[in-house]
Structure 1
Amino acid sequence: MRYMTKSERFFNEEEMLRIKETTRSVELQTIGEVAVMVVDSSDRYIEAELTGAIIFGSLFSLIITTILFSSSMWVYIPLSFILFFLLWFIFYAIPVLKTPFISFKRKEQEVMERAIRAFYEKGLYRTRKNTGVLFFLSLLEHKVWVLADKGIYEKIDQET
């Protein structure tokens, strides 16, 4: 059995079926072509992993060295490196831990870029009458982006 990502487990089978049926129904009743995409995160945010590992690795090393080794620099430096790599792996393996190290603006930018990339990767810009719509959910960032092609914008009032 393979590991299922958080995005693959986000909706249960019944919810997935309802989404597919609703999408199909909307496509039959309108000229829009709809796609839904759920991703675990829009970016790896490696700088957040590194920042967290450096801060906590140094802090834990300082505490351990001060308590157990009388503040020996010979223990602090190697212990900092060991804890850095251990914590880097932990931040990589548990993405929610890195969220405090990611700015709101950075999250917004990454989700927007990932949604736009998905819009083009799924070919929603090549639909008949330019009526593609993408509902993009990025779980780590708790963000939803809705992108529509120019054919949709021509049909709706811009104030709504």
Structure 2
Amino acid sequence: MLSMDDQARLANVIRDVEDDTSGEIVVVLAKQADTYRAIPLLWALLIALALPWPLIELTNLSASRIFMIQLGVALASSLALSLPQLRYQLVPRSIKRAQAHEAASREFIRRGLTRTRDKTGVLIYVALAEHHAEILADTGIADRVGPDVWVEIIEKLTMAIKAGSMADGLAEAIRRAGAILAEHAPPRFEDEDELPNKIILL
């Protein structure tokens, strides 16, 4: 998803922006938020359930023969629809968005962003398969910064990813999030880096 050089460059960007704030930034880049393994099975079952009706109306096949055809179609459909490029197209956009948001929320907790001293942790989360990106901020920042501020950053990030400039888009998103943190959570004299700066790839 990112070359080693890009990962190192982005880690340096995080370290640099955190020099100007007591806040913490974590970037998580996921190939996918969910595998959606149940989706092909669900579609295969729906196809198999609809199949007997035209066979009953248009053929003289026995019930046992129709059942065997139904079983074969269910199996073949399930296997065919399990191909990743097909599977993700079958998932409704609302479900993708909900799964990606849930995954981002889990990562927010898992990566320790709720445990920073002043509750000023910010997560930049990207799920590539879902074409989804979002920023989550802990209460120390969320109480001072409206969600519209993050939306603008995410819009520019998603445009950069679509244009094939993911590393540059992430670097800009990190810098802009860092500027917001610097304004609302300036550095302290005794400040220390509470969370790792490396890009987390899933």
Task: Say yes or no: TM over 0.5.
Answer: yes
| 2:44 counterpart of 1:53 | yes
Match of 1:85 in 2: 75
CA distance in 2, matches of 1:34, 1:135: 7
Which one of the candidate residues 87, 93, 100 is aligned to 1:98?
A: 87
Return the match for 1:111 from 89, 100, 106. 100
Task: Check whether the contact 1:61–1:80 (CA below 8 A) recurs between aligned residues.
Answer: yes
Whole-angstrom distance in 2 between the partners of 1:119 and 1:20: 18
Q: TM-score scaled to structure 2, two decimals?
A: 0.58
Q: Unaligned regions of 5+ residues in structure 2, if any?
A: 150-202
CA RMSD of aligned residues (A): 3.0
The CA distance in 2 between the partners of 1:24 and 1:79, in whole Å, is 61
Percent identity at matched positions?
25
* Partner Cα separation in structure 2 for residue 144 and residue 123 of structure 1: 19
TM-superposed CA distance for 1:89, in Å, is 3.5
- Structure 1 unaligned residues grouped into runs of 5+: 1-9
Task: Give the Å deviation of 1:76.
Answer: 4.6
Q: Find the residue that maps to 2:27 and give its secondary structure.
A: strand
Aligned length: 145
- TM-score normalised by length of structure 1: 0.71
SS at match of 2:34: coil
CA 1:156/1:103 → structure 2, altered by over 3 Å: closer, same or farther?
Answer: same
Equivalent residue number for residue 121 of structure 1: 110
Bigger mean CA deviation after superposition, 112-121 or 11-20: 11-20
Which among 111, 116, 120 is matched to residue 131 of structure 1? 120
**CA deviation digits over 1:77-130, x for unaligned, max 9?**
3243234234423433x3231233322221221111111111011111101211
Q: Offset at 1:136?
A: 0.9
